[in-house]
């Protein structure tokens, strides 16, 4: 007996065949990239647990898989258009790939040539998965590092400004403003609270500190430069106000929120004394030097001790990784010196008792040390510098506007001699 067979199409759980859905998503992304006649501002965060900051790129895609771009990475990238190619491909989802060298791919440079950290550069992507879109924006996510890439439509006026090199001009204006206004702050309402604002241009971080009642508060976010001034990558909320950017027009700067704006003013002295910030349970509890270079533009008698320490390391094919002075709790502090020998990082450590009263820090002789400290990996002159010493807490100012948020331990018997480093919470 013969049985007839009837062919049935498989029932699809989703609308359309898989290849149809793929083609639809690819077409959707391609059309979105092309629909802004003037191009896009592409905002990208970088780094991993240690952020390398955010960057803005102005990008115009054409239908021949060519894009032109400016970005806020270097003086050249912020004033000169670069042309490269891109592709829209399927890689588990519709994805945008920058497949030839451009300003975004500079962030992947494994060396420190463009300011990244070897061997990973800025830990940034060149392939981005399409997530969603709105009438004015396209949202993508890096395939490897999972950083958001947000495209926002720009105007013909923006393009004309870019043609004239005004992105670089605005970056220079922002740098100049904060160099001239070292104690910038703004106020919200009439409660008398002053919000101190600083830009860490090296870390690409905006920091806001303030005192309310007897409590010190601090918030930080990544930032990128824009044609208007500064974009706050992850907006900051203060008292119900969502802070999104700083606009700079001439010599006037304003902090912009979703509900208003607040002029940045300059105080004659720092808004917050360092004694209100630096404590074992404060906004900062450590002074940190990363790598072999101390913060530039600062002169102290301690610098000669630092050079001696580096020379000692060089004789032994050793390099400095970090040098940290830290308040551990209300009565103990530590000196933590990490160094690299043969590819392995070692720690030399000394612990002290201390008192901190009215900005005067008094250290005991070391109450404990480890083997690396005892075996000469910290030179004697630096050991003696901290052992039983008395310091006054203070800020340290650099002649370089990129160097901010530096704290110092000033010898009470010699103000020209002080250890200094980046204020940090460690």
CA atoms within 13 A on the CB side of 85: 5
Give the global pTM: 0.77
Q: pLDDT tens digit string along 246-281?
A: 999 999 999 999 999 999 999 988 888 999 889 999
CA atoms within 13 A on the CB side of 175: 16
Q: What is the mean pLDDT of residues 343-361?
A: 97
Is the per-residue pLDDT at 69 higher than 50?
yes
pLDDT at 212: 86
CATH of domain 18-164: 2.40.128
Q: For residue 240, what are its two tokens?
A: 């119900």
Q: Terminal CA-to-CA distance of the chain, rounded, Å?
A: 83
What is the spatial distance between Cα 111 and Cα 121, in angstroms, rounded to a whole number? 6
Q: Which CATH architecture group holds 166-266?
A: Beta Barrel (2.40)
Q: Which has the higher per-residue pLDDT, 89 or 215?
A: 89
2 — phi, psi (to 5°)? -100, 135
Q: pLDDT tens digit string along 180-194?
A: 998 999 999 888 899
What is the spatial distance between Cα 181 and Cα 373, in angstroms, rounded to a whole number? 42
What is the spatial distance between Cα 158 and Cα 106, in angstroms, rounded to a whole number? 23
Residues of the chain within CATH 2.40.128.210 domain(s) are: 166-266
Is the per-residue pLDDT at 150 higher than 80?
yes
Most confident range (mean pLDDT) of 178-187, 196-205, 355-364 is 355-364
What is the spatial distance between Cα 134 and Cα 69, in angstroms, rounded to a whole number? 22
Q: Angle of helix 156-163 relative to helix 166-180, nearest 10 degrees?
A: 80
Q: What is the mean pLDDT of residues 150-168?
A: 98
What is the spatial distance between Cα 391 and Cα 410, in angstroms, rounded to a whole number? 5
Is the per-residue pLDDT at 132 higher than 80?
yes
What is the spatial distance between Cα 75 and Cα 292, in angstroms, rounded to a whole number? 26
pLDDT at 112: 52
Q: Which has the higher per-residue pLDDT, 120 or 73?
A: 73
């Amino acid at each position: 007996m013969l049985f007839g067979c009837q062919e049935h199409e498989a029932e699809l759980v989703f609308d359309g065949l898989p290849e149809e859905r793929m083609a639809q998503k690819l077409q959707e992304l391609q059309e979105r990239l092309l629909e802004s006649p003037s191009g896009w501002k592409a905002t990208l965060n970088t780094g991993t647990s240690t952020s390398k900051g955010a960057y803005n790129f102005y990008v115009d895609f054409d239908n021949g898989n060519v894009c032109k771009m400016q970005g806020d990475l270097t003086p050249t990238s912020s004033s000169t258009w670069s042309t490269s190619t891109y592709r829209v491909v399927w890689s588990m989802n519709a994805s945008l790939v920058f497949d030839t060298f451009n300003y975004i791919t500079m962030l992947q440079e494994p060396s420190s040539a463009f300011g990244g950290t070897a061997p990973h550069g800025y830990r940034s992507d060149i392939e981005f998965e399409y997530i969603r879109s709105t009438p004015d924006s396209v949202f993508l996510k890096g395939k490897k590092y999972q950083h958001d890439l947000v495209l926002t439509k720009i105007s013909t006026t923006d393009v004309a400004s870019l043609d004239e090199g005004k992105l670089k001009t605005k970056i220079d204006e922002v740098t100049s403003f904060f160099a001239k206004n070292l104690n910038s702050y703004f106020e919200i309402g009439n409660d008398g609270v002053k919000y101190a604002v600083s830009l860490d241009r090296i870390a690409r971080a905006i920091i806001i500190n303030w005192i309310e009642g007897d409590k010190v508060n601090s918030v930080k976010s990544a930032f990128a430069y824009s044609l208007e001034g500064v974009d706050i990558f992850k907006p900051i909320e203060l008292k119900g106000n969502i802070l999104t950017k700083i606009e700079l027009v001439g010599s006037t700067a304003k902090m912009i929120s979703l509900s208003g704006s607040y002029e940045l003013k300059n105080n004659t002295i720092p808004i917050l004394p360092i004694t209100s910030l630096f404590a074992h349970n404060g906004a900062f509890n450590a002074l940190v030097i990363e790598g072999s270079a101390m913060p530039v533009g600062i002169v102290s008698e301690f610098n000669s001790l630092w050079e001696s320490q580096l020379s000692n390391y060089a004789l032994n094919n050793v390099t400095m990784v970090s040098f940290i002075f830290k308040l551990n709790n209300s009565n103990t502090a530590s000196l933590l010196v990490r160094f690299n020998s043969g590819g392995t990082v070692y720690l030399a450590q000394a612990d002290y008792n201390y008192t901190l009263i009215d900005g005067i820090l008094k250290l005991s002789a070391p109450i404990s040390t480890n083997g690396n400290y005892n075996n000469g990996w910290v030179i004697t002159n630096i050991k003696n510098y901290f052992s039983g010493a008395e310091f006054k807490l203070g800020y340290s100012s650099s002649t370089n506007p990129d160097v901010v948020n530096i704290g110092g331990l000033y010898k009470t018997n010699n103000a020209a001699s002080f250890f200094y480093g980046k204020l940090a919470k460690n």
